[in-house]
Structure 1
């Protein structure tokens, strides 16, 4: 079984994040596989919709695999990492067919960015959304990822979620307009099937135009944020946070 499985059923191309034992935390190879799937969705005329979902029922994607941060030694590593994530997120946002995040369980960190880059989101009632890095790793996001969150949630709700490191419930995310539909646990598949039937029946060029226009509006005049990323990823706090997370220990933040 691959950590990222790509399958096609009729006009629907599905990407399955398949590391349920790690709550589908993303490796760099999985990010690369997702980029390849995006290219396939654009290049294959038989693909009409792209769906992302997680295996195991406990998580959509629980962020990036934290073990990959152990080798980071400076803020420049953080800048390179966030540039990599930005490339993948923007590639997903630029897919020319409708994209759907089918969320079941935790959708946090990088997983939230991937869901936010999709055109539509449907979630089960027990799903949770957030970026709790202020109490876990002590890192930060790229300007592109902050822009995605503000675009969907607004500045007030984004800051409340980030500073308090709290997770939004599915109902909270629905009230904010982030999730389009919340369904009872165990009923994601029929709800997704109904949504896909609707999308497959609609005009492809109209949907393509809407997705491209919203993406361009979101990314217009996006400011540089490398100085923010460099400071945080280069900090002693970040290194301590990663080590504590991997070792399941506690960290005392110093602000340095």
Structure 2
């Protein structure tokens, strides 16, 4: 088991515990606001966990107890969000979003405190969101005068529906964890003191399941976001077939018959 090591503020922190990979947005003095370097590092951090065959689920969280991610680091707006520099910044942030959204392994957002703007976008790009009761959400694009890309708006509609998406963008209002639960943005809301343990329990449950089954289900979820004519049906069927041909399928049946917990190895 690896444990987190100290990192300079304004960076990403990553470590693994058992079969769980952890990505920590480490900028607590700015409520974990995302700067260019953090966006630029995110794809490689995610890819490292994708390539690690021991990792079965990835958890994204914010350093400290005040925020998940508060949005973009506005101190860089004058230097990184204007003119040609904005193109470079946008490419980095888009690649960061895509690394989470397109991850072939299950992803969980562990959210407490502030989760706004780009942080809300990152949370929505995860498969599951578990929140502390002190979480506060906002999509403030309308208060900043910036445009939000089509794919980002589409992702909101996939998670909370068109009506809630319209409300959140039009009003730019702050909403709490219980609102998030009611609109389907959050899977579960717990007291802040229980958040870490709740996420650990959830990921432990995920990790007890067959990795090939998880991979096939996640691939289907990714393909569902595509237009029907673009979906790789052959790949999905091959992944399903691989499940039935696996040692884990035999183990699952034997464990069920013997009334014991299965032990899966991903083969």
Moved more, 19-28 or 89-98: 89-98
| Distance across 1 between alignment mates of 2:200 and 2:50 | 21
Offset at residue 205 of structure 1 (A): 2.0
1:41–1:95 contact (8 Å) kept in structure 2: no
Listed as ranges, the gaps of 5+ residues in structure 2 are: 1-5, 229-267
Q: Note the alpha carbon deviations across 1:209-251, whole angstroms, 9 max, x for none.
A: 2222222322438xxxxxxxxxxxxxxxxxxxxxxxxxxxxxx
The answer to whether residue 76 in structure 2 is matched with residue 59 in structure 1 is no
TM-score, length-normalised on structure 1? 0.80
CA distance 1:9–1:73, change in 2 (3 Å): closer
- From 126, 130, 134, give the equivalent of 2:134: 126
| Distance across 2 between alignment mates of 1:130 and 1:210 | 30
Offset at residue 83 of structure 1 (A): 4.1
- From 183, 193, 198, give the equivalent of 2:190: 183
Q: Note the alpha carbon deviations across 1:83-115, whole angstroms, 9 max, x for none.
A: 432322122122222111000111111111111
From the CA coordinates, give the structure whose radius of gyration is larger. Answer: 2
2:58–2:107 contact (8 Å) kept in structure 1: yes
Question: Which structure shows the higher helix fraction?
Answer: 2
TM-score, length-normalised on structure 2? 0.77
- How many pairs does the alignment contain? 219
- From 32, 36, 47, give the equivalent of 1:28: 36
In the other structure, the counterpart of 2:253 is none
Moved more, 208-217 or 102-111: 208-217
CA distance 1:151–1:213, change in 2 (3 Å): same
Listed as ranges, the gaps of 5+ residues in structure 1 are: 222-256
Secondary structure class of the residue paired with 1:134: helix
**What RMSD in Å do the two structures reach over aligned CA positions?**
1.8
Of the two structures, which has the highest relative contact order with CA contacts closer than 8 Å and spacing of 6 or more? 1
Q: How do 1:1-256 and structure 2 match up within 5 A?
A: 1-2=6-7, 3-71=11-79, 72-74=81-83, 81-135=89-143, 137-220=144-227
Offset at residue 61 of structure 1 (A): 0.3
1:15–1:37 contact (8 Å) kept in structure 2: yes
CA distance 1:51–1:73, change in 2 (3 Å): closer
Secondary structure class of the residue paired with 1:26: coil
Q: Note the alpha carbon deviations across 1:104-135, whole angstroms, 9 max, x for none.
A: 11111111111111111100011012211222
